């Protein structure tokens, strides 16, 4: 069977694709001069309590300052909530315009000592202090503030692109955690008996529920979005590191 398409339909289809592409570029331009969140522009990864933040830049090599930067992260405004509650909807990825921050030299114009990075949300200002590995945000309208220590991570873990890569890493992480739990459970049963094995199972169940609260998840405790999968990856790694404590 042959299928033909009119010139009008072709033009309409082409126009829709062009419009979608233009809209995407306009969105990125409005955030931070079209810094694309891809590995080629990756500058630094930050892990905070299982959440990943990625900093990207698109400035000439050797530049002292850089105003063309982008912070990609889970919605940071929720961190300013006085009593954070578990997310009932998938955590969204947000784009924040960012730039380097320097102290000024004696002339009051020339940038001198590098201090870190500033970034801005709709309702808050933020700062990444690289000297003590701390990220802080401050509400523009209230006295609410939030700060946390981050762990710098050079491993690229995309948040807003390359869904297949995230799926691959998540699936590997999930299988590794399940296998580690199975091995640990058998070892605890061999060394300490069924009562201790039941305690391990109970703790693992509570940990799974807490992971869902920390990362966001569906009713079956499964991640719904890329950002939640990334959080699961981070939490799974930390969990595997604690399993050996059961042997001690």
Residue 23 counted as domain residue: no
Q: What is the pLDDT of residue 214?
A: 87
Q: What is the pLDDT of residues 79-89, one digit of tens each?
A: 776 555 555 67
How many domains are contained in the chain?
2
**Please, which pLDDT band fits residue 4 given cuts at 50, 70 and 90?**
very low
Using the predicted structure, report yes or no on whether residue 5 has a pLDDT greater than 80.
no
Residue 33 counted as domain residue: no
Q: Which residues does 37 contact at the CB level (< 8 Å), separation at least 6?
A: 54, 56, 70, 72, 95, 158, 159, 160, 161
Name the nearest CA neighbour of 55 among 124, 139, 135: 135
Q: Are residues 203 and 134 in the same domain?
A: no
* Chosen domain end from 132, 153, 174: 153
**DSSP conformational letter for 84:** -
Residue 21 counted as domain residue: no
- pTM of the predicted protein model: 0.74
Q: Are residues 108 and 138 in the same domain?
A: yes
Q: In what order do the strands lie in the sheet with 151-153?
A: 145-149, 134-139, 124-129, 111-120, 93-104, 69-74, 51-57, 42-48, 151-153
Q: What is the pLDDT of residues 49-94, one digit of tens each?
A: 788 999 999 988 877 889 999 999 988 888 776 555 555 678 788 9
Q: How far apart (Å, rounded) are the C-alpha atoms in residues 184 and 242?
A: 11
Residue 5 counted as domain residue: no
Q: Are residues 136 and 167 in the same domain?
A: no
Residue carrying the six token digits 């006085």 = 82
Q: Are residues 149 and 169 in the same domain?
A: no
Q: Are residues 136 and 168 in the same domain?
A: no
Q: What is the pLDDT of residue 140?
A: 92
Using the predicted structure, report yes or no on whether residue 27 has a pLDDT greater than 50.
no
**Please, which pLDDT band fits residue 109 given cuts at 50, 70 and 90?**
confident
Can you read off the two tokens belonging to residue 129? Answer: 């202090």
Q: Are residues 118 and 72 in the same domain?
A: yes
Q: Are residues 145 and 187 in the same domain?
A: no
Nearest 5°: CA angle at 124, between 121 and 125?
A: 85
Greater confidence, 78 or 151? Answer: 151
Using the predicted structure, report yes or no on whether residue 29 has a pLDDT greater than 60.
no
**Please, which pLDDT band fits residue 160 given cuts at 50, 70 and 90?**
confident
Q: What is the pLDDT of residue 91?
A: 78
Q: Are residues 174 and 92 in the same domain?
A: no
CA atoms in the 13 A half-sphere facing the CB of 226: 19
Residue 20 counted as domain residue: no
Residue 52 counted as domain residue: yes
Q: Are residues 98 and 179 in the same domain?
A: no
Q: Are residues 143 and 210 in the same domain?
A: no
- Note down the domain range covering 218: 163-246
* Chosen domain end from 128, 153, 178: 153
Using the predicted structure, report yes or no on whether residue 23 has a pLDDT greater than 70.
no
Q: How far apart (Å, rounded) are the C-alpha atoms in residues 28 and 30?
A: 5
* Chosen domain end from 153, 171, 203: 153
- In percent, the amount of the chain with pLDDT more than 90 equals 50
Residue 32 counted as domain residue: no
Using the predicted structure, report yes or no on whether residue 195 has a pLDDT greater than 80.
yes
Q: Are residues 61 and 133 in the same domain?
A: yes
Q: Are residues 80 and 177 in the same domain?
A: no
Q: What is the pLDDT of residue 6?
A: 45
Q: What is the pLDDT of residue 238?
A: 87
Name the nearest CA neighbour of 78 among 12, 146, 32, 1: 146
């Amino acid at each position: 069977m042959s299928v033909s398409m009119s010139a009008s339909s072709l033009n309409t289809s082409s126009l829709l694709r062009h419009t979608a592409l233009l809209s995407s570029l306009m969105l990125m331009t409005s955030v931070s001069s079209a810094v694309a969140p891809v590995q080629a522009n990756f500058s630094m990864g930050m892990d905070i309590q299982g959440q990943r933040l990625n900093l990207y830049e698109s400035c000439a090599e050797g530049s002292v300052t850089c105003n063309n930067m982008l912070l990609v992260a889970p919605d940071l405004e929720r961190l300013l909530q006085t009593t954070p509650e578990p997310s009932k909807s998938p955590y969204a990825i947000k784009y924040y315009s960012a730039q380097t921050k320097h102290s000024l030299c004696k002339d009051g114009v020339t940038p001198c000592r590098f201090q870190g990075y500033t970034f801005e949300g709709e309702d808050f200002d933020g700062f990444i202090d690289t000297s003590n590995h701390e990220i802080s945000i401050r509400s523009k309208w209230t006295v609410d503030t939030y700060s946390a220590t981050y762990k710098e991570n050079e491993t690229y873990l995309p948040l807003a692109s390359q869904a297949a890569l995230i799926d691959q890493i998540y699936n590997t992480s999930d299988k590794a955690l399940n296998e580690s739990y199975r091995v640990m459970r058998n070892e605890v049963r061999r060394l300490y008996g069924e009562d201790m094995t039941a305690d391990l199972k109970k703790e693992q169940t509570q940990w799974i529920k807490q992971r869902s609260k920390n990362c966001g998840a569906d009713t079956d405790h499964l991640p719904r979005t890329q950002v939640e999968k990334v959080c699961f990856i981070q939490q799974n790694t930390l969990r595997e590191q604690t399993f050996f404590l059961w042997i001690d």
